[in-house]
Amino acid sequence: MYSQQTKRNTVIYLFILLWVIAVPAVAFLSSLNAKLSIVLCGGVIGLALATVTALNFRLGYYIYIVISFIIHVPERMAKTTMPVGVVMDIFLLLVLAGAIFTREKEKSNIEYFKDPLLLILYLYSAYMLIQCFNPNMYSFQGWVIFIRVYIRNFIFLFLTLRVMKGWPEIYKFFKFWLVLATAAALYGCLQQAVGLLPFEKAYIAMNPDKFKTVVLQGRPRIFSFMADPAAFGVLMACSAIICMVLLTASQKLISFPKKFILIFMIVVQLLALGFSGTRTAYVMLPVGLVLFFLVNLHNRNTLIIAGIFTFTMLAILFGPFYSSPTIIRFRTAFMGSQDESLNLRDVNRHSIQPYIYSHPIGGGVMTVGGDGETYNPGHRLAGFQPDSGYLRAALELGWIGLILVCLYTYMGIHYAVANYFREEDELHKLLLISIAAVMFAILVAQYAQEAAGLVESSIFLNALLGITIRIKYNLSKSK
């Protein structure tokens, strides 16, 4: 008890001290250099958060997620490129240190060296390390950057296993996630209503690559406070799926006032999804819900939601709406044969197949697309845009690596569905089937886009995988 009180007092005193120092320092430097004041203010806040993260790794886990989502905002405000990856690594290592040195004992029967999913993960990790010696790769620097990001995701997965020790922690995670996603959706709707803020426009204008992906037909795609419209759209689709699944709960489990809140979340998230202009995310929504509908056709609320969703989809696809760019782009996601950019992607995929057949271990990591031009200039794959997570895996890691990726994703879906059928509690079943639906949606989205490789989506996916593994061993009830 004394130890906890001491930690709490230490955190309070540090906060007070840091803010006392920060206020006059930032005020003085703001008069000299606005950009420097932003950096200093961010450093003070970051130091305070880092202290909290090191003292309380569970709270630090959520701080890390929030930082990963909003870290690009100060970068845009400063109108310069910042080492955002380094900041994320530092905070994650602080969370890891807190988890290692905490006095709390972990009670778990997870078979870390026998579990099939984890064994595939270990095998895939070893394959990533072997890629360092891939003779087709020109640069070692690209591999170092790739493996750093991979280790970050690897650590986050195991931290999730540590943080989610019971259903109360899982409830807390889903509440936190839906609040964070709704906040992002509201900010995205605000961007659509009043336009991008001046510092956001300036940052996009000074970055040609960002300009090409954000501005489409003279209109900006909305990205909220996330990295880009693609990441924003994918997460809005995932969050909307979870909310729709929870909406089918009985009134005894979720009361009408709470369902109104869920409806509000769904509306703003679907609006934000539409404004993101991410066609892959448009497809994710029905794909994820189809899995949910198939296993819950016996539920009356599920049939009602399925009917409303189907009617809305048909109205958007075939209704007399021709003036909205958002609706037009939504239709092209389901009528790809009429869209030249989608047809061009299929042509590119067929043209690169001989390379895949002749390179079983691939061309090496960070050799495809813009990454290839940066780290492996002159490589056969440099500049080639895969537009697919699976195609990138096949090109960079070969068909051997693609098999490992497919096995890993399959096992994740298998665990989630198996957990659903083992559980008896209604709320638990809804959360578990929502996890399975989101995983399935991301799995399908990987065909058209690198949906699982985006920073924000990879964090969410690894969190769901960690929860799924934890539930399999500690929380599911066999019938």
> Model confidence over 452-477: pLDDT tens digits?
777 888 899 999 999 999 998 877 65
- Residue 173 predicted with pLDDT over 60: yes
Q: Are residues 284 and 441 in contact, defined by beta-carbon separation less than 8 angstroms?
A: yes
% the chain with pLDDT above 90: 23
Higher-pLDDT residue of 31, 128: 128
Tell me whether residue 44 is in a domain: yes
What is residue 16's predicted lDDT score, i.e. its pLDDT? Answer: 65
Domain that holds residue 99: 1-105
- Residue 419 predicted with pLDDT over 60: yes
For 159: left if phi > 0, alpha if psi spans -120 to 50, otherwise beta; the answer is: alpha
Query: In this predicted structure, which of 134-143, 320-329, 414-423 has the lowest mean pLDDT?
Result: 320-329
Higher-pLDDT residue of 306, 141: 141
CA atoms within 13 A of residue 337's CA, in its CB half-sphere: 0
Mean pLDDT value across residues 424-443:
90
Tell me whether residue 26 is in a domain: yes
Tell me whether residue 84 is in a domain: yes
> What distance in Å separates the CA atoms of residue 229 and residue 233, rounded to the nearest whole number?
6
Tell me whether residue 477 is in a domain: no
Higher-pLDDT residue of 81, 3: 81
Model confidence at 1, in pLDDT bands (50, 70, 90)? very low
Tell me how far the alpha carbon of residue 248 is from its chain's centroid: 25
Among the ranges 34-38, 308-312, 332-336, which has the highest mean pLDDT value?
A: 308-312
Query: In this predicted structure, which of 108-122, 229-243, 372-386, 410-424 has the lowest mean pLDDT?
Result: 372-386
Query: In this predicted structure, which of 160-169, 301-310, 323-332 has the lowest mean pLDDT?
Result: 323-332
Tell me whether residue 216 is in a domain: no
Model confidence at 122, in pLDDT bands (50, 70, 90)? very high
Tell me whether residue 12 is in a domain: yes
Mean pLDDT value across residues 421-426:
87
Query: In this predicted structure, which of 46-55, 104-113, 224-233 has the lowest mean pLDDT?
Result: 46-55
Domain count for the chain: 1
> Pairing relation of β-strands 215-216 and 219-220?
antiparallel
Q: How many CB atoms lie within 10 A of CB 355?
A: 17
Q: C-alpha distances in angstroms, 280 versus 40, 122, 171, 226?
A: 39, 30, 28, 17
* Burial track 176-185 (b if 16+ CB lie within 10 A, e otherwise): ebbebbbbbb
| Mean pLDDT for all residues in the chain | 81
Tell me whether residue 75 is in a domain: yes
- Residue 229 predicted with pLDDT over 70: yes
What's the pTM? Answer: 0.85
- Residue 183 predicted with pLDDT over 50: yes
Mean pLDDT value across residues 378-399:
86
What is residue 316's predicted lDDT score, i.e. its pLDDT? Answer: 73
Token pair for 62: 């959520």
Helix 116-130, helix 140-163: angle, nearest 10:
160
Tell me whether residue 349 is in a domain: no
> What distance in Å separates the CA atoms of residue 412 and residue 291, rounded to the nearest whole number?
15
- Residue 244 predicted with pLDDT over 80: yes
SS3 call for 82:
coil
- Residue 435 predicted with pLDDT over 90: yes
| Residue 133 phi, psi (nearest 5) | -105, 15
